[in-house]
Each structure stands twice: as structure tokens, then as C-alpha cells.
């Protein structure tokens, strides 16, 4: 039997290191690469018959007064462009600086590069909607956490101090969310991956997966406590982890393979969602074994190795 609980300080150090790196990346500009769902603005998907290259598109957008824009190649002459919110083409009033570009301006800009192009989609999100998305996202995660705590306290009422299990699950949940945020900040810096509304859907899915995995381990701890009440708590937790680790790792591996296959062979529309899921499955499995369960031991026995 592997002495996983005896090495709990190592796992605590790994988690704290990952959290610290993630928080530093989030704190340092450009922070998270937020999509228009959170910042307001417009996105344009355009396809050229002859690929002009990102540099020509960026130069052309600069000439018409676009600022704070990004151009991302989607392959085969298609580009995903993020820029400030577009104004109505027919507006006759003098626009504000933040709304100085219209769809007509974009079409003229693209025609200067290559007359054979097609604008596939244009999406615009206003400031009020973006602020509402941020607020609703925070509320969704908070409500999910409250329901998780309430459920676990009820489910583990047969053992003493059931609130410890609830707090342990929430700590593991927050551990997963903040590490994923940090990883997305790094991915946004390196590859331009954005945090958008689908990211929140992915986070809520990850919360469900992580809590389910955590409850499996907790349930085995409860069974061992009731069956072997005189055994040291750290030994009970270590036994429970060894009994459930194979199941957790096998479930995580098969789920990750399916998600990876979808990432490799699926379309770009679900890419960000699948990345959240893949990271969440891996980190959620780690936290259920090496964070949530170890937290119970820390609370019961402190930071002693034995």
C-alpha cells in the first residue's frame, strides 16, 4: 500500500506552487485574455480566397482607426478578428472614439487587401451585457459551491464533523478553478486563447466532475471510519485513497482520451470548452486525492507526517 498521506506536505507544496504561478500570471498585465462576453466589443470572422497573411490585415485595420484589436488565423484564408464595438453603418452623428468603426469600414479595409472575401459572421456584445455576464458567472460559481457544501454536509451527517468534508470539497473546487484560470492566463499569453462565456460553462462542468470524484474518495473514508473506528484517521484516509485511486485514475484517463480526440478531430467552435474540460478532469482528479482528502488529515492531525 502506497503511503500517500505521509507525503501530504509534498502535495501541498505542488498545489501552492501551481496556485502561486497562476495568480502571478493573472495579476501581471495583460492578465486574462478576456473575450467580448466579458469586455464588450465585436468579433468578425472573414474568409479570403487568397490568404493575405495576418500582417496585411493588421496594417489595413490600423489605417481605418481600429485599436486594441487582434487577428487570429483559422487556416485556409479564414481569420478571426477581435476589435472594439462596431457602430451602425448608417449613423450620421459623429461617433465616439470607441465606436469609430462600422461594418462598411471593415469591408472597405478588406477589399483593399483582396476583393474576393466573405464576412462569415459578426458578433457584438455591449458593455452592459458584458458586465452582466461577469456578475452572473460569479453568482453561478457561488451558488454551485453553496449547494455542494449543503449536499456533502447532509450526505456525511453519519460521521462526526461533516462540515469538514464540505469545506474540504470547496477548497478542492476553488483549487481547481484558480489553477485553471492561471493556466488559461498562460495559454492566452502564448496562444491567444480567450476566456469567454463557454469557459464558464466548462468551469461549472469541471466543478461537477471534481465534486463527484471527491465524494467517491470521501465516501470510502466514511465507510472505513465506520468499519474501523479505532484506527488512526490518517491511516483510514490513506487506506481509502489506495482503495479508490485506481478507479479515479481509470475514469480520468478514459475521459481525457475522449476529450483529446475531440480536440484533435473536432472543430474550433468547442476548442476552448474542451480545453477547460481536459484541464479540469486532470486537475480535478489530482485535487480529489491529493488536496481534499489530505485537507481532512491536516485538520485532524495538523502538519505532522505521522
Beta carbons within 8 Å of 266's beta carbon, 6+ residues apart: 274
Residue 91 DSSP SS3: coil
206-240 tens-digit pLDDT: 888 888 888 889 989 988 888 888 888 889 999 99
CATH of the domain at 291: 1.20.1640.10
Q: Is the same domain home to 101 and 172? A: no
CA–centroid distance for 61 within its chain:
31
Give pLDDT, residue 100: 61
For 43: left if phi > 0, alpha if psi spans -120 to 50, otherwise beta; the answer is beta
Q: Is the same domain home to 200 and 118? A: no
Residue 225 DSSP SS3: helix
Q: Is residue 208 part of a domain?
A: yes
Q: Is the same domain home to 184 and 288? A: yes
Query: What range does the domain containing 201 cover?
Result: 5-35+129-301
Q: Is the same domain home to 75 and 216? A: no
Q: Is the same domain home to 169 and 292? A: yes
Q: Is the same domain home to 173 and 275? A: yes
Answer with the residue of higher pLDDT: 87 or 120: 120
Q: Domain ends where: 101, 125, 149? A: 125
Q: Report the number of distinct structural domains present in the chain.
A: 2
Q: Is the same domain home to 49 and 165? A: no
Q: Is the same domain home to 27 and 48? A: no
Beta carbons within 8 Å of 299's beta carbon, 6+ residues apart: 164, 168
247-306 tens-digit pLDDT: 889 989 999 999 999 888 876 667 888 898 999 899 989 998 899 888 888 888 765 544
CATH of the domain at 50: 3.30.70.100
Q: Domain ends where: 105, 125, 145? A: 125
Q: Is the same domain home to 93 and 168? A: no
- In degrees to the nearest 10, what's the CA dihedral of 30, 36, 42, 44? 90
Record the pTM: 0.75
Amino acid at each position: 500500500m502506497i503511503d500517500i498521506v505521509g507525503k501530504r506536505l509534498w502535495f501541498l507544496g505542488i498545489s501552492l506552487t501551481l496556485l502561486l504561478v497562476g495568480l502571478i500570471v493573472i495579476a501581471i498585465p495583460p492578465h486574462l485574455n478576456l473575450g467580448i462576453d466579458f469586455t464588450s466589443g465585436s468579433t468578425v470572422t472573414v474568409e479570403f480566397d487568397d490568404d493575405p497573411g495576418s500582417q496585411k490585415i493588421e496594417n489595413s485595420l490600423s489605417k481605418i482607426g481600429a485599436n486594441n484589436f487582434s487577428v487570429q488565423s483559422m487556416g485556409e484564408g479564414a481569420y478571426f478578428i477581435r476589435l472594439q464595438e462596431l457602430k451602425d453603418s448608417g449613423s450620421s452623428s459623429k461617433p465616439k472614439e470607441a465606436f469609430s468603426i462600422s461594418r462598411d469600414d471593415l469591408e472597405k479595409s478588406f477589399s483593399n487587401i483582396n476583393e474576393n472575401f466573405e464576412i462569415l459572421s459578426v458578433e457584438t456584445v455591449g458593455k452592459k451585457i458584458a458586465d452582466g455576464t461577469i456578475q452572473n458567472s460569479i453568482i453561478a460559481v457561488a451558488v454551485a459551491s453553496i449547494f455542494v457544501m449543503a449536499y456533502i454536509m447532509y450526505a456525511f451527517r453519519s460521521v462526526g464533523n461533516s462540515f469538514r468534508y464540505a469545506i474540504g470539497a470547496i477548497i478542492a473546487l476553488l483549487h481547481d478553478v484558480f489553477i485553471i484560470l492561471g493556466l488559461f492566463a498562460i495559454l492566452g499569453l502564448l496562444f491567444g486563447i480567450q476566456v469567454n462565456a463557454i469557459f464558464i460553462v466548462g468551469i461549472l462542468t469541471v466543478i461537477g466532475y471534481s465534486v463527484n470524484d471527491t465524494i467517491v474518495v470521501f465516501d470510502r473514508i466514511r465507510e472505513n471510519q465506520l468499519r474501523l473506528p479505532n484506527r488512526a484517521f490518517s491511516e483510514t484516509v490513506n487506506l481509502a485513497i489506495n482503495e479508490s485511486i485506481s478507479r479515479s485514475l481509470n475514469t480520468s484517463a478514459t475521459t481525457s482520451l475522449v476529450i483529446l480526440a475531440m480536440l484533435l478531430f473536432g472543430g474550433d467552435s468547442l476548442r476552448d470548452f474542451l480545453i477547460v474540460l481536459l484541464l479540469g478532469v486532470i486537475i480535478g482528479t489530482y485535487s480529489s486525492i491529493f488536496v481534499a482528502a489530505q485537507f481532512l488529515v491536516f485538520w485532524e492531525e495538523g502538519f505532522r507526517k505521522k
